[in-house]
Amino acid sequence: MVGDLIKAIRPLNLLIVAILQLLLYYNILLPHLDHPRLTLYTFGGFVLSTLLLTASGYLINDYYDHIGDQINKQGWHRLTRSQLIVTYSIVSLLGVAISIAVAYSIGQLSYVSIYVLASILLYSYSAWGKRQPLIGNVMVAVFCGLSITILLLTERPALLSLMDTTPTLYHQIVHLVIGLSVFAFMITLVREMVKDVQDIEGDRAQGYTTLPIIIGIPRTKVMITWYLGVTLALAIWWIISQWQSQSLPANIYFVFGVIGSLIIAIYRSSQLDGIDTYAGLSKLCKGVMLLGIIYVLLV
């Protein structure tokens, strides 16, 4: 059961979330904050509560998708629906408890509401959103974007102090975090659309009305390519607007690493032929996300 549970919570995805928050906080925010709210321990609790929330989202998703997963992902894991819902409840409650402890330690109990709202968002996605065309995709993408920008809210007082003393640096930091949030939103949105194509048989068996079921795979393929094109355009705009404020190694890496990989993804999306070919594009999009995370190390 332990091995099945590990599979169900998608450890690689959780690791990506943890690394991104770690790099953003310690490489971008903390070096420029005079009086940060988060300590080593409270930041650890902050990350852990985020990971537990994300893991609970995967568990409740598998609970509602149990029949479809037997068609789409044979041998994925052997957890029963009752095991999934019990584990989901435990993980969710543990996440809430840790978020309360972190919020109390920094004197902002109101922040717990953010965790609760995010948990409701993920539950709503699994219970209702993912059955709808595009709505569920957007809900997951919004969650991924918010998992980045929440750091700005947590350290808002220290950031406002930085704005008073060094406004240029403040705007650079905020623009970088929001830019990464938009990037994560767009890539996640594309990946969710790709996954809908991969899962079309199981979703159809469960009566879902996802995008490829409603408009067909060929039109969904066009939308995937279009969204990747928008992401590429935003990435080009970003590097042009930020060229003077970032280091030369960071700029060169972004051009060849991030923009280059997006061009490859667009080409691959235009060459898709058959459901099996979508798995490669999904992995490529995850690679693009990882390249974006490495960019944070260089700025």
Query: What is the pLDDT at residue 73?
Result: 66
Query: What is the pLDDT at residue 108?
Result: 82
How far is residue 56's CA from residue 60's CA, in Å, rounded to a whole number?
Answer: 6
User: pTM here?
Assistant: 0.92
> How many of the other CB atoms lie within 10 Å of CB of 286?
16
Instruction: List pLDDT tens digits, range 4-54.
Output: 788 888 898 899 999 999 999 999 999 998 889 888 899 999 999 999 999
- The answer to whether 153 touches 114, Cβ cutoff 8 Å, is yes
Token pair in block for residue 217: 């795979």
Which residue positions in the chain have pLDDT lower than 70? Answer: 1, 69, 72-77
What is the DSSP code (8-state) at residue 268? H
Query: What is the pLDDT at residue 35?
Result: 87
Instruction: List pLDDT tens digits, range 139-168.
Output: 899 989 988 898 888 898 899 999 999 999
The domains of the chain are located at 2-216
Query: What is the pLDDT at residue 111?
Result: 81
Residue with tokens 């709210």: 37
Q: What is the DSSP string of 276-288?
A: GGHHHHHHHHHHH
Token pair in block for residue 250: 């960071």
Query: What is the pLDDT at residue 71?
Result: 72
CA proximity to 289, closest of 12, 7, 6, 9: 12
How far is residue 265's CA from residue 290's CA, in Å, rounded to a whole number?
Answer: 14
Query: What is the pLDDT at residue 285?
Result: 93
CA distances from 122 to 16, 135, 178, 230 (A): 18, 12, 21, 26
